[in-house]
Amino acid sequence: MSTRKNPTADFSEAGLRALAGPRSFDRGTEYLNAVTALEVGDGWITATVHGTDAYEARLTFGGGEGLTGMCTCPYGQEGNFCKHLVAVGLSVLGRPESLPRQRARARERARDLDAWLAARSRDELLALVREQMAHDRGFRSRMRLRAATARHDLAEIRTQVSALLDSGPFAQYGCLAGGAAHSYAEQAAQAVAALAELTAHGRAADAVSLSREAIDELGRRYEETDDSDGALSSVLAQLAEVHLDACRAASPDPTETAQWLVVHLLGDLAHATGVALRDYRHVLGPEGLAVTRELTTEAHQRNPSGWVEKDLMRTLNTMEGRVDALIARHASNLRPDGGTHLRIARELALAGRPAEALQWAERGVTEAPDPAVLDSDLLDYLSTRYERSGHLAQAVILRRDHFTAHPTLTTYQALHAAAQTADTWPAERENALKILRTTAARGEADRPNGPALIDALLDDGDLDTAWQAASTTGTADHQWLTLADRIRDTRPADALPVYLRLLEPLKKSTGAAAYEQLTSLLLNISACHRLLGTDEDFTAYATTLRTELKRKRKLMAMWDEHGV
């Protein structure tokens, strides 16, 4: 999974800090000695970083997306720019050579390698390939698969596809996780590419049967895989596309196709492959659709409350033109939040009746007894319809009305997006902030989440105004902490009192979560003193704090680990 990205963040210490945040950046500086196997390419860097485990980290830069990163650590797989990526970036920036010179050297190495390979004789290149095949099982399987595909050897193709889908060499304790899962997905993608070549070379019928077998096999591996980065899901989706393309080219038996399709759609893998019944309409034809309805009806009768069975029945109704009956059933029991109106609108849109779909979506908004509780999906749907048809002002009015009725960060962000598209954001923002200031003045700061005004200003990056508003109207502790984190490097004198105040009540707490918070706050307090040039004051404060909390041995060990 790609981590958070910032098109404006360049590959620099400041860019790394902007993506990682203060805490991950500071922790990354502690892992510089844990970076191994560092390789710099032209626009990319890879390395292994040793922490709780050995994690594979990759930075990409110089493209349209700015600086991005991927790491196999748990925090990185959630989409975060982790400390390991910071360590890799700082390791490269800390080299004597400048980054442009390192990239130039990478290009030079690539050219040298290409030139060296081009100068080898046919026998020398064959020897290199054979050497690699002898030591690399995955490479050997890929070469055998290509050879089998070239000579149309179906039995060998099946054997080699099965070999590439074998997760045994990657599994640990019966499961796939982290870098092993990612490596397995890359190998499985080779099998998918070979199956696609079958259709391209006129062997679509073979591709149909083999891709179905591969989907079943890969599905079993998927169940034992930690696919938090989505790598294996992506391969499954590609494999499903290969199967669909092969079916379109080969026109397989409609009854057999319907049977396979219904079993797959009712199973656990449909969400990963993205297989959709609508895509197979022309493949199935009238005969296949009849079989599909028969099998789906039987499944629905066996499990009438199952949402998968219901959704499949609804899709069939839409495909077969039974939309009006479906709409009549939904219209008899409309939800007050507009959710049922949205379902009707979507059914009409799928049936090729966009004007009626828009009318039902608009009715969902106008007929809602309380605008504050409108279904967010309905608002998103209607706003998107307005924007796509060029009615930008209507999208802004829709978002403005909802924000006025329910002023939260989420509705503020939705209004911001619509007004930005319509090029009216400055005026809309001024009016929206007035509403949020009025709400904050009524005492929203006393609520657990704090005033939405502060969240909105933070979301806009207007830190000075957010600080002034928090100081005037008050705010929740978590918002104070966010504010302090955002201004720490530029205004340490303002951030320091916040960290000191938030630390005090935690001194009475115990447990891992409390100790993590205490450690984080103490690290930030240390950073503030370092920026202010008052390290002696921090030393005195930390010494007093350690004396006071010395009985908390796990906390002391944690502080020792972080060097505070």
Q: Which domain holds residue 509?
A: 488-564
Q: What is the pLDDT of residues 236-278, one digit of tens each?
A: 889 999 999 999 999 999 999 999 999 999 988 888 888 889 8
Which of 487, 502, 535 lies at the terminal end of a domain, its last residue? 487
| Whether 477 and 497 share a structural domain | no
Same domain, 522 and 558: yes
3 state DSSP class of 78: coil
Which of 94, 118, 142 terminates a domain? The answer is 118
Which of these three, 487, 502, 525, is where a domain ends?
487
Side chain identity at residue 185, one-letter code: A
pLDDT for residue 4 is more than 60: no
Q: Side chain identity at 515, as an amino acid letter?
A: Y
Task: Report strand pairing: 35-40 vs 66-71.
Answer: unpaired
467 and 494 in a single domain? The answer is no
Is pLDDT above 80 for 530? yes
Other Cβ atoms closer than 10 A to 199? 22
385-414 pLDDT tens trace:
999 899 999 999 999 999 999 999 999 999
Which residues does residue 63 pair with via DSSP β-bridges, in sequence order? 66
* 441 CB-near residues (< 8 Å, 6+ apart): 473
What is the total count of domains within the chain? 3
For residue 230, give the 3-state DSSP assignment.
coil
> Which is higher by pLDDT, 321 or 470?
470
Could you tell me if 477 and 516 lie in one domain?
no
Higher pLDDT, 61 or 463: 463
pLDDT band at 178 (very low <50, low <70, confident <90, very high): low
Answer yes or no: do 428 and 515 share one domain.
Answer: no
Which amino acid is residue 290, in one-letter code? A
Going by C-beta distance under 8 Å and a sequence separation of 6 or more, which residues neighbour residue 312? 262, 265, 266, 277, 296, 299, 300
The band of 416, judged by pLDDT with boundaries at 50, 70 and 90, is very high
pLDDT at 328 over 50: yes
Query: For 252-258, which contacts have Cβ atoms below 8 Å and span 24 or more sequence positions?
Result: 252/205, 252/208, 252/283, 254/283, 254/284, 254/285, 254/287, 254/288, 254/291, 255/287, 255/288, 255/291, 257/283, 257/284, 257/288, 258/284, 258/288, 258/289, 258/291, 258/292, 258/295
136 phi and psi angles, rounded to 5 deg: -125, 105
- Same domain flag for 451 and 545: no
Residues 471 and 509 in one domain: no
Whether residue 219 is predicted with pLDDT greater than 80 in this model: the reply is yes
**Same structural domain, 481 and 493:** no
Claim to verify: residue 507 and residue 445 sit in the same structural domain:
no
Estimate to the nearest angstrom the gap between the alpha carbon of 492 and the chain centroid. 33
Whether 90 and 34 have beta carbons less than 8 Å apart is answered as no
Residue 480 and residue 556 share a domain: no
What is the per-residue DSSP string for 539-564?
A: HHHHHHHHHHTTT-HHHHHHHHHHT-
Taking residues 209-224, what's their average pLDDT?
Answer: 88
